[in-house]
Structure 1
Amino acid sequence: MKSAVPKPSTRQEIVEKADLLFYQRGFENTSFADIADAVGISRGNFYYHFKTKDDILKEVIALRATRTQGMLDMWALKGRTPVGRLKCFVQMLIDNRKDIQRFGCPVGTLCAELAKLEHPSQGEAGMIFGQFRRWLAQQFVELGRVKDADVLAMHLLARSQGIASLANAFHDEAFIRCEVKQIEAWVLDTAAQAVPPK
Structure 2
Amino acid sequence: MATTVALVDDHRLFREGLRALLATQSDLKVVAEASDAHEAFEVVRQTNPDVAVIDLLLPGVSGIQVARELMREDPKRRLMALSMVRDEQHVAQALDAGMIGYASKEQSMDEVVAAIRTVAQRQPYLAPGISRFVLDDYRRLRRGQSEGGSPLASLTHREREVFDLTVAGMATAEIARQLYISKRTVETHRARILRKLGAHSATDLVRFAARMGLLPP
TM-score norm. by structure 2 comes to: 0.27
- Greater RCO, 1 or 2 (C-alpha within 8 Å, sep 6+): 1
More strand by share: 2
Q: State which structure, 1 or 2, has the greater radius of gyration over its C-alpha atoms.
A: 1
Q: TM (normalized to structure 1)?
A: 0.28
More helix by share: 1
